[in-house]
Structure 1
Amino acid sequence: MPDTVASLCWYPATRPAWERLWQGVRARLGWGPEALSWPEEAGAHWRDPGLVLSMTCAMPMRLGLARQAVVVGSPVWDLPGLPPGHYASHIVMRADDPRDPATAAAAGIAANAPDSQSGRGVLDAAGLEGPIAYTGSHAAAMLAVAAGRAHLAAIDVVTWRMAPHSALAIRATTPPTPATPFITARPEWRAPVRTALTAAIAAMPPADRAATRLIGVTDLAPAAYAAA
């Protein structure tokens, strides 16, 4: 077996809960790294042959990651209006900005990454266009809008639920799209990792469940994450 790695780094605002979830997965799996990685550059991490568990995004999967990673399942979030295995994005602007979203977008958008479905892809679907500054994270995108360096951002509803910005207001919410899938490196790892992950989620302490809003794992049609 190669050296193994794992990460659950999408939601750093609740990092301790994700660390505890991984310990639950590892205890049930019986192998894997002792601690989670928190990579700043995820592309190579997702392609590591020793990747036991991580979360990615629908857009990287469609852009080719699906040829190298195996979907373990899609998270089920305990948030209003989300079907199992889906999430959505809030379109946010400064609370004191009276403009409509299209006008604000035309003045400048902050997005976490060019291959983020929740921060970038949903803007196309919503018809919101304008110059885009990529910030590296949803938190940094919110800061950019709050500081006036950008005028609009799309922030996934899970991130917003965990760490909203007091200077910003939700102006719209996008339709649900396939959520950030859990992935692993090898087909033969999928079943044991899925079993361990499902059991670890079910055993989460109530405080961790409330913090992360994660309540389960489900399966979507393969086309949801298939490479184009």
Structure 2
Amino acid sequence: MTAGIASLGMYDHPAQQAANDALWTALGEALRRRGVAAPERLDRTRPPEAIWRDPALLIAQACGYPLVTDPDLDLRVVAVPVYAVPGCAGARHFSHIVTRRDDGRRGIADYRGARAAINAATSNSGYNLFRAAIARCAGRTPMFAAVIDTGSHRGSVAAVAGGDVDIAAIDAVTWAAIARFEPEAVAGLRILAATDSSPTLPFVTSRHTSRTTLALLRAALDEVSTAPALAETRDTLFLERIVPASIHRFAALRGLERDAARAGYARLQ
């Protein structure tokens, strides 16, 4: 039996990679005990977006927004994480809208004509939630002088800190990791506002994965999310527990997109 592909690349700060490796070692062993062929190592050779499209995908973490907007993304939701990050209770997360500490503007509406950063137009936390927040005050007109795609939340943090842009939305779990492991990167920033909350990034598998294997994946995830020996590993990843879920949980993300369009703000601009 050929082992599938595994990735934990969505929250994989360099200071968290050893913890993700330890989590995967335990998860892989739990799967193999249940008769599921699991790879020995996580795949870090490709971006997560490419791994999602691999029909051999056994387990990965994905963004929920493309899950419900990209018809070519053939994935099945396995479970969702609960994070020990303030404001992320109940398998939900949100984004911090951030600016520089020395920027005197006090509210989102004050940033008309500013420069904004996104990590990707396919991102829920860096784009979809950000757009929903801006749509409420944009008045059906462009809000920003420029919107720059940085390619990552870490890139957006650097762009704001360096003065290339004035404002960005940063996933709260990513922000917590940067604040813990690279406090100097966010020392010059402040949180301006919070976006709406939304379901956390799901653990997914290929649509080709059998329902039997799906059930075994859920059981193995539950095991590693409660194992006492992994407490320190989970703390490094801000991981409180993992609960079963389906794709229906993410329908609200498409609703945010539709609400913004109805407000005359179909794209962040």
TM-score normalised per structure 2: 0.78
Letter aligned with residue 103 of structure 1: D
Are the counterparts in 2 of residues 70 and 187 from structure 1 also a CA contact under 8 Å? no
Displacement of 1:89 in angstroms is 0.6
Q: Does 1:127 align with 2:134?
A: yes
Please list every run of 5 or more consecutive structure 2 residues that lacks an aligned counterpart in the other structure: 136-142, 180-185, 255-269
Q: Which residue is 1:213 aligned to?
A: 238
Moved more, 33-42 or 70-79: 33-42
Residue of 156, 165, 168 corresponding to 1:150: 165
The within-5 A match list for 1:38-57 is 38-57=44-63
TM-score normalised per structure 1: 0.91
- Structure 1 segments (4+ residues) deviating >4 Å: none
Displacement of 1:195 in angstroms is 0.9
Equivalent pairs counted in the alignment come to: 228
Q: Which residue is 1:113 aligned to?
A: 120
Moved more, 131-140 or 218-227: 218-227
Q: Which residue is 1:200 aligned to?
A: 224
Displacement of 1:2 in angstroms is 4.9
Letter aligned with residue 51 of structure 2: H
Q: 1:53 to 1:80 in 2, by over 3 A?
A: same
C-alpha separation between the residues in 1 aligned to 2:219 and 2:91?
17
Q: Which residue is 2:38 aligned to?
A: 32
Return the index of the structure with the highest Cα Rg. Answer: 2
C-alpha separation between the residues in 2 aligned to 1:10 and 1:85?
16
SS in 1 for 2:113: helix
C-alpha separation between the residues in 2 aligned to 1:49 and 1:40?
14
C-alpha separation between the residues in 1 aligned to 2:41 and 2:113?
43
Q: Which residue is 1:182 aligned to?
A: 203
Are the counterparts in 2 of residues 111 and 138 from structure 1 also a CA contact under 8 Å? yes
Q: Which residue is 1:10 aligned to?
A: 10
The within-5 A match list for 1:166-177 is 166-177=187-198
RMSD: 2.1
Q: 1:134 to 1:39 in 2, by over 3 A?
A: farther
Are the counterparts in 2 of residues 85 and 219 from structure 1 also a CA contact under 8 Å? no
Q: 1:223 to 1:206 in 2, by over 3 A?
A: closer
Q: Which residue is 2:89 aligned to?
A: 83
SS in 1 for 2:148: strand
Are the counterparts in 1 of residues 78 and 245 from structure 2 also a CA contact under 8 Å? no
Q: Deviations over 1:46-73 (max 9, x none)?
A: 0211111111111110113686111011
User: Share of identical aligned residues, percent?
Assistant: 33
